[in-house]
Structure 1
Amino acid sequence: MSVPAPIARARYASVTTYRRDGRPVPTPVGVVADAGELFVLTERTSGKVKRIRYNATVTVTPCDMSGRVAADAPMVRGQARLLDREGTARVRRLMSRRFPISRLVFAADLLLRRRDRRIGIAISL
């Protein structure tokens, strides 16, 4: 299934991951759609990465930068997967195009030798 248009157009989405006990944890993140999937870039040690390792089921809803979801926003269930180094590099390039300011963050990571600090997440909806 491809990414629904309202989510593909959104700059931000609330990605809900699930704790071991089933409680949902919504997190607003910058997203980019490409090749029928949705991509996110996050810190490798973040809670969402730990939760995805345990349970790959996620829910995605377009939101604003603060995580506010419109009443009529679509909600779509999907499966997340953590990407390898090559996949993460691809997500970094996609994010750089969509969010030019992110280039500063990525440059700082390079200068501080923290290139592996972030990991890409692909979400199939």
Structure 2
Amino acid sequence: MIAEQFRRQKTVLLQTRKRDGTWVGTPVNVVVDDEGRYAFFRTYDASGKAKRLRNFSDVRLAPSTVRGRPTGPAVTGHARLLDETEAVAVRAMLAAKHPLIHGRLVPAFHRRRGYRTLHYEVTFEPQ
């Protein structure tokens, strides 16, 4: 499974497409489901990546440093916005893998700023 390569990776470089076709990279934390088929990440509704994903679901993911410098090859896929019932499990997985950041800091920051937290599922294209 393609997503399996991201299971131990704490940060990946998520690239999303702009309307003019150029790619914009952002480091994000990801988790992988138990079967290793999907990767999941979260963001907030006013972020640039969320706005770009409303127009184009195409994404690229590459292992990276915390600052977003790629450390491996990118794989292509499609991101799908999860509804609230689907997001419950992803929220728990993110909090388990990243207890301080996604268990406490990100949820508190989003609440304080009045942001709506969005969770995405990435399905990878066959290589």
TM-score, normalised with respect to structure 1: 0.85
5+ unaligned residues in a row in structure 1: which ranges?
none
Query: Residues 6 and 48 (structure 1 numbering): CA distance in 2 closer, same or farther, change over 3 Å?
Result: same
Which structure 2 residues correspond to residues 21-100 of structure 1 after superposition, within 5 A? 21-34=20-33, 35=35, 36-70=37-71, 73-100=72-99
Identity score, percent: 31
The residue matched to 1:9 in structure 2 has which SS? Answer: coil
The residue matched to 1:6 in structure 2 has which SS? Answer: helix
The residue matched to 2:93 in structure 1 has which SS? Answer: helix
- The equivalent of 2:108 in structure 1 is 108
| Cα deviation 1:12-71 (Å, max 9, x = unaligned) | 11010000110100110000011410000111211111111111010110101111112x
Contact 1:6-1:74 at 8 Å conserved across structures: no
- The equivalent of 1:120 in structure 2 is 119
Count of residue pairs the alignment pairs up: 121
Letter of the 1:122 counterpart: E
5+ unaligned residues in a row in structure 2: which ranges?
none
The residue matched to 2:68 in structure 1 has which SS? Answer: coil
1:67 and 1:79 map into 2 onto residues whose CA distance is 20
CA RMSD of aligned residues (A): 2.1
Query: Residues 123 and 64 (structure 1 numbering): CA distance in 2 closer, same or farther, change over 3 Å?
Result: same
2:113 and 2:12 map into 1 onto residues whose CA distance is 29
